[in-house]
């Protein structure tokens, strides 16, 4: 369980979060969305206990693992040394995360010489050294190669059955794919907290790449290689596919052109 009750917080005299309240009782993945500077990182820092709030109450049941956006890593250590150091202070066995986060080839590298993606892998390894009840993950898949990003998504999904995971991402497709709830923060205030599947599509836009000119058959317009169609209901895709197949048109690709979560950030 995690609850924030009229929490205001900020830096120096500047208030960034204003009366933020929400309660999380169910396990699952809570996607924290908001534009740059909205207060996502500040919210996570307040929950993690790193930034004391100006006012309000925070209730937490269980321990918290925090993947911070700015990596808190000892720059002068090698990857291996840092994992041993973390395991001494936090607990856990470095051998359990070295393979899982593909760190074998960079164990002897100094942290200061790592790429952003490599630092992200190490920061993730640090968070997953130990088991927590609540995970706060600030952009866990940013800068990762697609293979590792996909592994991290799977890891987050499997963890979410028994944990509360709050995570931020600029990848709205990823957010919709794995998220259970959306929390939107706008200029330091919570503007929405809802199950993702309740977020109604105002319009459903798909793009089709096919072997023929589709403008003679369907209503829509070309954007580059894609013939773009606005639908009222995703179920209409099926009848479009059938119509194109009936005409012996090869469909190379159909993709969604716009994500409904984008509307929440406007």
Binding residues (CB under 6 A) for ligand ADP: these are 11, 16, 34, 36-42
Least CB distance to ligand ADP at residue 36 (A): 5
- Minimum separation from the CB atom of position 38 to ligand ADP (A): 4
Smaller CB separation from ligand ADP, 41 or 205: 41
210 CB neighbour count, 10 Å cutoff: 19
Question: Which residues is 60 bridged to in the sheet?
Answer: 2
Q: Which residue, 70 or 162, has its beta carbon nearer to ligand ADP?
A: 70
Query: What's phi and psi for 12, nearest 5 deg?
Result: 60, -120
Strand, helix or coil for residue 115: coil
- Smaller CB separation from ligand ADP, 7 or 244: 7
* C-alpha span between 189 and 19 (Å, rounded): 7
What's the rounded Cα separation, in Å, for the pair 148 and 100?
Answer: 9
Residue with tokens 């993709």: 255
For residue 256 the two structure tokens come to: 């969604």
CB of residue 213 vs ligand ADP: minimum separation in angstroms? 44
**Closer Cβ to ligand ADP, 16 or 196, answer by number:** 16
E strand or H helix at 186? strand 181-186
* CB nearer ligand ADP, residue 51 or residue 144: 51
| Minimum gap (Å) between residue 185 Cβ and ligand ADP | 7
CA distances 67 to 50, 73, 96, 153, Å, are 12, 11, 18, 14
* Residue 226: CB minimum distance to ligand ADP, A: 31
């Amino acid at each position: 369980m995690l609850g924030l009750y009229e929490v205001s917080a900020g830096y120096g005299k500047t208030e960034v979060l204003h009366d933020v309240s929400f309660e999380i009782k169910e396990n699952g993945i809570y996607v924290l969305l908001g534009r740059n500077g909205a207060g996502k990182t500040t919210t996570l820092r307040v929950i993690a206990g790193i930034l004391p709030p100006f006012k309000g109450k925070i209730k937490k049941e269980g321990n918290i693992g925090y993947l911070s956006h700015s990596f808190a890593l000892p720059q002068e250590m090698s990857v291996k040394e840092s994992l041993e150091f973390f395991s001494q202070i936090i607990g856990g066995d470095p051998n359990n995360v070295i393979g899982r986060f593909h760190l074998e080839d960079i164990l002897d590298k100094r942290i200061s010489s790592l790429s952003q993606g490599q630092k992200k892998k190490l920061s993730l390894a640090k968070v997953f050294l130990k088991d927590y009840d609540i995970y706060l993950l600030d952009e866990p898949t940013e800068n990762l190669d697609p293979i590792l990003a996909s592994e991290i998504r799977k890891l987050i999904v499997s963890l979410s059955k028994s944990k509360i995971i709050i995570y931020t991402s600029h990848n709205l497709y990823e957010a919709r794919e794995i998220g259970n709830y959306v929390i939107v923060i706008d200029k330091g205030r919570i503007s929405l907290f809802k199950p993702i599947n309740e977020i109604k599509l105002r319009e459903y836009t798909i793009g089709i790449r096919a072997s023929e000119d589709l403008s003679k058959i369907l209503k829509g317009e070309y954007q580059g290689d894609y013939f773009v169609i606005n639908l009222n209901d995703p179920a209409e895709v099926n009848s479009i596919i059938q119509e194109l197949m009936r005409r012996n048109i090869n469909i190379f690709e159909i993709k969604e052109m716009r994500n409904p979560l984008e509307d929440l950030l406007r």
